[in-house]
Amino acid sequence: MPMVSHPRDAILPSTEELPCSDDTAVDNGDQNLLPNLLLFALALLWSERFDWYFGVDMAVYHTTGVSPKVPVVPDAFLSLGVERKKGGKSRRSYATWEEHNVVPVLGLEMVSHRPNDEYDEKLQLYQQLGVLYYVIYNPEFWQRDRHQPFEVYKLVGDTYRLQIGEPFWLPEIGLGLGRGRQIIGGIEQEILLWHDAQGHPYPLPEQQLVALQTQLLAEREQLQAERDRTATERDRAERLAAYVRSLGLDPDQIP
């Protein structure tokens, strides 16, 4: 896929103008739960650090694709050297040109019931963007896809190379990442966990998980409300533009 560059002096849209995701529904509950568990664990591990951001199901806008208005939407991503709260506020989306051109250092994709190009098209997108580590988690369909359940690709030069070892140590991040089992909501299951340099996992305290579930529910409701409001405003604007055109006027020429 050829790289498409955009002039630095081109007028780029604000994240206030761009959708926060692609509005694609998750294929299963774990696609929402597991990335949020990683986020919550990181908030505990790095509670005194404010130079990182971990996004879940959030649009990442960049200038290396066909258009700066066409994002890539990882199941999760981690960026270093940026504010946890941009300007003291929560992000609606992540635009590299608003983040001092910092691209994520890690991208995570979870393979679902319907294959979604995690091993080819998305790999090429992250490679083109310059994401250092690309992690594919495929616990159920790895045999169907002829891959391993957990794979880490590292950008070497301009090409991804499959790495060996699990948990895999990420020296640029200072953490390892791998699979583990833990009781979540009374049910033992496999999840993704951060690990230390010796390969020991950082398990999540049970009482913290209860707080996480409450927080995730509130954030999900808030996000849905924002999406509904955006859709309503867009529909109102489209109806208004259609009415103006019916009067024989060009809505783009109205001051």
- Is-contact 9 48, C-beta < 8 A? no
Domain ranges for the chain: 1-204, 205-255
- Is-contact 104 60, C-beta < 8 A? yes
pLDDT value of position 229: 75
Domain 1-204 grouped into CATH 3.90.1570: yes
Mean pLDDT on 123-141: 96
pTM of the full predicted structure? 0.75
Residues 120 and 62: their CA atoms lie apart, in Å, by 19
Q: Is the pLDDT of residue 60 over 50?
A: yes
| Percentage of residues of the chain with pLDDT beyond 90 | 54
pLDDT value of position 240: 72
- Is-contact 93 21, C-beta < 8 A? yes
Block residue for tokens 């963007």: 129
Q: How confident is the model at residue 236 (pLDDT cuts 50, 70, 90)?
A: confident
- Is-contact 4 42, C-beta < 8 A? no
Block residue for tokens 């608003």: 98
Of residues 72 and 114, more confidently modeled: 72
DSSP β-bridge partners for residue 181: 190
